[in-house]
Amino acid sequence: MKHSEGRYKLGRWVGIQRWQSHAVTNERKQRLDEIGFNWQQRKRFGAIHAREIRSSVQRTAIHDFADLISITPTEMQRPMSHLRDKILQLPSVVETVGRSRTKAGVTFRTTKNFARFEILIQWINVYLRDSEYTEDSRKMVHDISHGTSGWGGVVKFTPEGDLEYLFTLIRASYNSTL
């Protein structure tokens, strides 16, 4: 079944109606109610809303990786732990876990930072030193070098992502610090 009209997707339209429900006229609301429109906001599969993460970050003491992983979305915990273990096997790597007001993360460094995991809603941003790597044949690293974060690139890490490929990029970032 097709769920779009031209370039407009039905799911997007429904989401907008729900989000702007306070501004919908009574007549429109009544017409949508007649066809059984569901006004309840839905959580995406496996999602944790941003305010839940912010709240969890703010009330959780984060001293080590176990604390960090406890506020990570469930489906991210195993791949994140596995990736961390691979990074810690590289020589001379130091791990620092911490948080800002709304974000929690872990930074890996040798003499310089080379990777950082930052927890978001359904994925983890993996920050890298540079915006381009010869090893990035899939062009997964997005350039953020114009920002003020001090990082050159970022990769969106999801549970379905290719862990080995991501580790190859992290190792390239690591090598740039040696």
User: 3-state SS of 48-108?
Assistant: CCHHHHHHHHHHCCCCCHHHHHHCCCHHHHHHHHHHHHHHHCCCCCEEEEEECCCCEEEEE
Same domain, 76 and 124: yes
Averaged pLDDT score across all residues of the chain:
77
Q: Is 17 inside a domain boundary?
A: yes
Q: Is 41 inside a domain boundary?
A: no
Average pLDDT over residues 3-19: 65
Same domain, 135 and 170: yes
Same domain, 73 and 12: no
Same domain, 160 and 133: yes
Q: What is the pLDDT of residue 171?
A: 93
Q: What is the pLDDT of residue 167?
A: 93
Question: CATH number for the domain including 68?
Answer: 3.90.1150
Q: Is 43 inside a domain boundary?
A: no
pLDDT at 126 over 70: yes
Same domain, 27 and 61: no
Same domain, 94 and 142: yes
Distance in angstroms (rounded) separating the CA atoms of residues 19 and 83? 37
* 108 Cβ contact partners less than 8 Å away, ≥ 6 residues apart: 87, 88, 93, 94, 95, 114, 115, 116, 170, 174
Q: Give the domain extent around 17.
A: 4-34
128: confidence class by pLDDT, cuts 50, 70, 90 = very high
Q: What is the pLDDT of residue 91?
A: 93
pLDDT tens digits, one per residue of 48-95: 444 555 555 455 556 677 777 776 777 888 888 899 999 999 999 999
Same domain, 155 and 79: yes
Same domain, 129 and 59: yes
- The model's pTM is 0.64
Q: Under DSSP, is residue 114 helix (H, G, I), strand (E, B) or coil?
A: strand
Domain tally, the chain: 2
Q: Is 45 inside a domain boundary?
A: no
Distance in angstroms (rounded) separating the CA atoms of residues 14 and 38? 9
Q: Is 110 inside a domain boundary?
A: yes
pLDDT tens digits, one per residue of 85-120: 999 999 999 998 876 655 678 889 998 999 998 877
Same domain, 10 and 69: no
